[in-house]
């Protein structure tokens, strides 16, 4: 039986983290030198963790599939990072950030973890400023804030529209400082293909050098996965092309529970799909909703005329526009949380009011802001985003409204972790988007950066010591132990198997098929029948993949198609897991919307009496249905209620 003890410390929620730190075990400096930690991934969580471990004196091995740690997809986060600094004096506090995050997550997150996140949020801002992150400032020289969805205070720190980039570069620089100091051994263009278990503990990884195709064995007293989310199971998403869920699936196959896989966030403000050749969806920062107003035509005939190219959006009179978010949610208006905004867009488009050539788009209009603040002010705030839009769509958003539509963006679900961020496999930790812990069923904007850095800078450096303190006399392994040899052999066989299929269909072709199934049946609106169909279809895709995929070239040297194929194999398993989880969760909450469970007004209807738990899936073996275990969620502080943004 899988161990799902969440190890939440005793005491009131606001004191748990202090209590934990006061009582945890530590490793003395001399012993740190004897301990090796493997960190997989170099995004916000991975780079910050690896750098912090290195600074503390541990020996770190850090892996990335990219040519440089700075390419990790955290770099693409645009809008900002939340913290409870309350610099604008608008009533923010650690408690309010904690409360907003639990509420925003639709009451499916663990209170203790979220409170800790809110507590360390302020330290993150301090740390980043000390690293030289050029956050936006006021003329007085102090830090500027802006507001984001799901909050009534301005608590978001930002660096133009490139906050993720700047935070990642801060962490990357800290990491490179440790590389220079020799505490971190960096392996670029290297992919983890398996996790090595010795006596029931994670003790290393099998890696594949993506340039030479060679397999490597690496030992670590502990292994940290900071490998991001699995949104690319949908093929089209806002994730980078290389973002994948393979390390998470390897962990799952080694006994780590996979929690809430169905909780995937659909981001409301992405550039709509426009062709079959499309490879990726581009996000337009949520911060645009601060000044942009979302609307569709109020009359169906206007929408039809626009779709047919007979009418321009600027020709629609004010009274014939339906600002549906402002209409439905007067209190939060255009700043409702992402899941609410996404579903509302889908509702309008499904009802026939959508625009664009496909009818799957709504307008995000800056006209009134430009009139109120002037074009220069809007340019200063969003210039780079507007430029990006214009480059892609060839429309000028200063003159005509942007078109947006929801797209898969972030996965709240992930590897189950306890309070210490340890998975159900001893010695295996998960951080950042790769774990499931802090966002419940929906993540608020500007919270992903906060969580990634919280895990890496301020949580793992403490909690991993509590684990490693018992390991100080465990000698380093050489990598020649039978467990390593065996794991490498298995990994090699998997790659050889893929190469030997020599079928007819390209990896992308199969991936697109999987993506369509995911979007149609496991996307924004799900139902029992569709999910059952999805599971069947995914099983067929799996069969087709293992019998008909075509991978040119060999396993020697660089082979991009082989990399993609091995990741797709894992995405197929993730897709199956997502569908199963979505099927079992007979309620609507956050990013998970089951059509059978909605209020009369079409709002998500939770079933707190039945589903106030994290659904943790345990792997049972190849081609066997996984088993679901529950980690019950108890809410001591937060009052569970239907979310109301009206």
Partner 1 sequence: MENNISLTLKVWRQNGPKEKGRFETYKLETVSTDSSFLEMMDILNEQLINDGKEPVAFDHDCREGICGMCSLYINGRPHGPDDDVTTCQLHMRKFKNGETITIEPWRSAGFPVIKDLIVNRNAFDTIIASGGYTSISTGGVPDANAIPISKIDADEAMDAASCIGCGACVATCKNGSAMLFVSAKVSHLALLPQGQVEAARRAKNMVAKMDELGFGNCTNTGACEVECPKGVSISNIARLNREFLKAKLAD
Token pair, residue 231, equals 């949104």
Token pair, residue 193, equals 């293909």
Of 558 and 625, nearer to partner 1 (C-beta) is 558
CB of 186 to partner 1, least distance (A): 8
Distance CA 152, CA 331 (A): 10
Per the rule left: phi > 0, alpha: psi between -120 and 50, beta: everything else, 446 is left
338 catalytic, yes or no? yes
Of 177 and 299, nearer to partner 1 (C-beta) is 177
CB of 165 to partner 1, least distance (A): 6
Q: Which stretch binds partner 1 (CB under 8 A): 3-11, 97-105, 124-132, 441-449?
A: 124-132
Residue 67, interface with partner 1 (CB under 8 A)?
yes
Of 71 and 526, nearer to partner 1 (C-beta) is 71
CB of 226 to partner 1, least distance (A): 15
Residue 560, interface with partner 1 (CB under 8 A)?
yes
Token pair, residue 385, equals 């985003």
Residue 2, interface with partner 1 (CB under 8 A)?
no
Residue 26, interface with partner 1 (CB under 8 A)?
no
Residue 552, interface with partner 1 (CB under 8 A)?
yes
Distance CA 60, CA 182 (A): 9
Residues 130-149 that bind partner 1 (CB under 8 A): 130-132, 134-143
Q: C-alpha distances in angstroms, 174 versus 73, 127, 523?
A: 17, 11, 38
Residue 583, interface with partner 1 (CB under 8 A)?
no
Phi, psi of 499 (to 5 degrees): -70, -25
- Residue 552 CB burial class (10 angstroms; 0-12, 13-18, ≥19): exposed
Contact residues for 640 (Cβ-Cβ < 8 A; gap 6+) = 107, 608, 612
**Cβ atoms within 10 A of the Cβ of 520, count?**
14
Residue 159, interface with partner 1 (CB under 8 A)?
yes
CB of 451 to partner 1, least distance (A): 16
**Cβ atoms within 10 A of the Cβ of 390, count?**
14
- Residue 234 CB burial class (10 angstroms; 0-12, 13-18, ≥19): buried
Residues 223-282 that bind partner 1 (CB under 8 A): 240-242, 274-275, 277-280, 282
Residue 55, interface with partner 1 (CB under 8 A)?
yes
- Considering CB under 8 A, how many residues would be counted as binding partner 1? 81
Of 330 and 553, nearer to partner 1 (C-beta) is 553
Per-residue mark of binding to partner 1, 446-465 (x: CB under 8 A):
-----------xx--x----
CA neighbor of 566 nearest in space, from 620, 625, 491: 491
- Residue 527 CB burial class (10 angstroms; 0-12, 13-18, ≥19): middle
Q: What is the DSSP letter of 161?
A: T
Residues 75-114 that bind partner 1 (CB under 8 A): 75-76, 85, 87
Of 69 and 80, nearer to partner 1 (C-beta) is 69
Distance CA 577, CA 535 (A): 9
Of 55 and 483, nearer to partner 1 (C-beta) is 55
Distance CA 355, CA 310 (A): 12
Of 261 and 456, nearer to partner 1 (C-beta) is 456
Contact residues for 476 (Cβ-Cβ < 8 A; gap 6+) = 34, 36, 219
CB of 387 to partner 1, least distance (A): 7
Per-residue mark of binding to partner 1, 206-225 (x: CB under 8 A):
-----x--------------
Q: Which stretch binds partner 1 (CB under 8 A): 5-13, 199-207, 423-431, 550-558?
A: 550-558
Residues 347-406 that bind partner 1 (CB under 8 A): 387-388, 391-392, 394
* Catalytic annotation, pick one of 70, 71, 116, 338: 338
Residue 621, interface with partner 1 (CB under 8 A)?
no
Of 178 and 588, nearer to partner 1 (C-beta) is 178
Q: Which stretch binds partner 1 (CB under 8 A): 100-108, 129-137, 201-209, 566-574?
A: 129-137
CA neighbor of 187 nearest in space, from 165, 216, 225, 220: 216
Residue 475, interface with partner 1 (CB under 8 A)?
no
Q: What is the DSSP letter of 125?
A: H
Residue 544, interface with partner 1 (CB under 8 A)?
no
Of 47 and 604, nearer to partner 1 (C-beta) is 47
DSSP for 176-242, written as a single string: HHHHHHTSEEEE-SEEEEEEEEETTEEEEEEEEETTT--EEEEE-SEEEE-----GGGGSSSSS-TT
CB of 61 to partner 1, least distance (A): 16
CA neighbor of 399 nearest in space, from 283, 282, 313, 306: 313
Residue from the set 51, 167, 202, 569 that interacts with partner 1 by CB under 8 A: 51
CB of 40 to partner 1, least distance (A): 17
Residues 166-205 that bind partner 1 (CB under 8 A): 166, 169, 172-174, 176-177, 179-180, 186, 188
CB of 490 to partner 1, least distance (A): 27
Of 61 and 293, nearer to partner 1 (C-beta) is 61
**Cβ atoms within 10 A of the Cβ of 562, count?**
21
Report, as residue numbers or ranges, the catalytic residues: 338
């Amino acid at each position: 039986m899988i161990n799902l003890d969440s190890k939440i410390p005793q005491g009131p929620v606001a004191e748990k983290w202090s209590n934990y730190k006061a009582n945890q075990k530590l490793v003395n400096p001399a012993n740190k030198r004897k301990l090796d930690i493997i960190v997989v991934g170099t995004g916000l969580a991975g780079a910050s963790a690896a750098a912090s471990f290195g600074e503390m004196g541990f020996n770190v091995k850090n892996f990335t599939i990219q040519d440089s740690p700075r390419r990790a997809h955290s770099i693409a986060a645009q809008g900002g990072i939340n913290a409870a600094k309350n610099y604008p004096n608008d009533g923010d506090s650690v408690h309010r950030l904690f409360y907003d995050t639990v509420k925003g997550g639709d009451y499916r997150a663990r209170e203790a973890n979220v409170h800790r996140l809110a507590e360390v949020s302020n330290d993150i801002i301090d740390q980043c400023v000390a690293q030289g992150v050029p956050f936006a400032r006021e003329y007085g020289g102090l830090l500027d804030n802006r507001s984001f969805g799901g909050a009534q205070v301005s608590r978001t720190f930002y660096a133009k529209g490139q906050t993720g980039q700047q935070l990642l570069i801060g962490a990357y620089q800290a990491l490179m400082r440790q590389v220079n100091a020799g505490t971190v051994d960096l392996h670029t263009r290297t992919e983890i293909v398996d996790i090595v278990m010795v006596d029931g503990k994670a003790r290393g990884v099998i890696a594949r050098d993506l340039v030479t195709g060679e397999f490597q064995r690496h030992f670590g007293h502990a292994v940290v996965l900071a490998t991001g989310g699995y949104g690319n199971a949908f093929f089209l998403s806002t994730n980078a092309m290389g973002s994948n869920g393979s390390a998470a699936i390897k962990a799952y196959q080694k006994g780590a529970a996979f929690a809430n896989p169905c909780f995937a966030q659909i981001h409301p403000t992405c550039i709509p799909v426009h062709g079959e050749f499309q490879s990726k969806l581009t996000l337009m920062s949520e911060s645009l909703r601060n000044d942009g107003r979302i609307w569709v035509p109020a009359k169906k005939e206007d929408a039809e005329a626009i779709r047919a190219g007979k009418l321009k959006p600027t020709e629609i009179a004010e009274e014939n526009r339906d600002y549906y978010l402002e209409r439905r949610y007067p209190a939060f208006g255009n700043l409702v949380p992402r899941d609410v905004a996404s579903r509302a867009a889908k509702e309008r488009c499904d009802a026939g009011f959508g625009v664009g050539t496909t009818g799957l788009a709504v307008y995000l209009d800056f006209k009134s802001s430009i009139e109120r603040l002037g074009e220069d002010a809007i340019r200063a705030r969003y210039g780079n985003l507007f430029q990006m839009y214009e480059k892609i769509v060839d429309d000028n958003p200063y003159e005509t409204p942007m078109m947006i539509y929801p797209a898969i963006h972030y996965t709240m679900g992930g590897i189950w972790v306890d309070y210490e961020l340890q998975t159900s496999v001893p010695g295996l930790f998960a951080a950042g988007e790769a774990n499931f812990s802090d966002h419940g069923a929906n993540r608020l904007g500007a919270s992903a950066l906060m969580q990634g850095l919280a895990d890496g800078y301020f949580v793992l450096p403490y909690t991993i010591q509590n684990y490693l303190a018992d390991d100080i006399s465990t000698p380093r392994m050489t990598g020649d132990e039978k467990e390593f040899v065996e794991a490498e052999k298995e990994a090699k066989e998997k790659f050889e198997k893929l190469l030997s299929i020599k079928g007819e269909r390209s990896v992308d072709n199969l991936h697109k098929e999987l993506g369509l199934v995911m979007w149609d049946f496991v996307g924004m609106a799900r139902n029992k029948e569709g999910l059952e169909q999805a599971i069947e279809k995914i099983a067929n895709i799996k069969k087709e993949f293992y019998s008909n995929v075509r991978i040119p070239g060999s396993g020697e040297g660089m082979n991009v198609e082989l990399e993609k194929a091995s990741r797709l194999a894992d995405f197929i398993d993730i897709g199956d897991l997502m569908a199963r989880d979505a099927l079992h969760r007979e309620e609507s909450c956050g990013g998970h919307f089951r059509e059978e469970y909605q209020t009369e007004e079409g709002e998500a209807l939770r079933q707190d009496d039945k589903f106030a738990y994290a659904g943790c899936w345990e792997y049972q073996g190849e081609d066997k249905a996984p088993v679901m275990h529950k980690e019950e969620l108890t809410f001591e502080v937060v009052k569970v209620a239907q979310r109301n943004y009206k």
